[in-house]
């Protein structure tokens, strides 16, 4: 038997998939959240979708109506031997304005709110600790308001949203610049 990794015990001969874990983050537009996670060594898959609400199998248009309770998010499958949950949290915080409770950049409403959706007590504690550390860092002049919530059902988004940054690279780049996301990240994290 191999040693426990992040709460998962891998049995000898078991496939690597047996040790993979899941993290879910909401950071406004999910198009902008896929690439930063997908580029990280140890991330196996990043799926855009909807979570945190009540409606079963919501569509993009329903979620954007702000009537489902869902927000856009990403489900990250990762290998904890290669990347730990704390590093995923660091990637997450560096993609968002954690002080904005009304959405992200020019995307407004509950469907664009930020949140960390934890899957177990360990993820909850690590998320709360990283939020506290960010709050006390002095990096922002307002408090961090990103919610830390228990994970609920995650509904994958329609196919055209998957890997949007690869399928539509020019539109994706214009969207990031035009929304103010890139300027915000540059201002707060380039130092």
| Lookup result for tokens 């539109």 | 171
Cα–Cα distance, 174 to 55 (Å, whole number)? 32
Q: Which of 29, 32, 64, 71 is an active site residue?
A: 29
> HEC profile for the chain?
CCCEECCEECCCCCCHHHHCEEEEEEECCCHHHHHHHHCCCCEEEEEEEEECCCCCCCCHHHHHCCCCCCEEEEEEEECCCCCCHHHHHHHHHCCCCCCCCCEECCEECHHHCEEEEECCHHHHHHHHHHHHHHHHCCCCCCCCCCEEEECCCCEECCHHHCCHHHHCHHHHHHHHHHHCHHHHHHHHHCC
Based on the residue annotation, tell me whether 29 is a catalytic residue of this protein.
yes
Cα–Cα distance, 38 to 99 (Å, whole number)? 25
Active site positions, annotated: 29
């Amino acid at each position: 038997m191999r040693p426990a990794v992040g709460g998962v015990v891998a049995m000898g001969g078991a496939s690597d998939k047996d040790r993979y874990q899941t993290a879910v983050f909401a950071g406004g537009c999910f198009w902008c959240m896929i690439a930063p996670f997908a580029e990280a060594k140890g991330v196996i898959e990043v799926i855009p979708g909807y979570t945190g609400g009540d409606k079963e199998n919501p569509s993009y248009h329903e979620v954007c109506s702000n009537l489902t309770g869902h927000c856009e998010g990403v489900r990250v499958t990762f290998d904890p031997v290669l990347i730990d949950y704390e590093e995923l949290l660091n990637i997450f915080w560096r993609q968002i304005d954690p002080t904005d409770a009304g959405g992200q950049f020019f995307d407004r409403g509950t469907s664009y709110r930020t949140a960390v959706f934890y899957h177990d007590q360990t993820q909850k504690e690590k998320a709360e600790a990283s939020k506290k550390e960010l709050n006390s860092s002095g990096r922002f002049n307002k408090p961090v308001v990103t919610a830390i919530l228990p994970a609920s059902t995650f509904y994958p988004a329609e196919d055209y949203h998957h890997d949007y940054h690869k399928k539509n690279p020019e539109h994706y780049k214009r969207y990031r610049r035009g929304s103010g996301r890139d300027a915000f990240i540059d201002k707060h994290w380039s130092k």
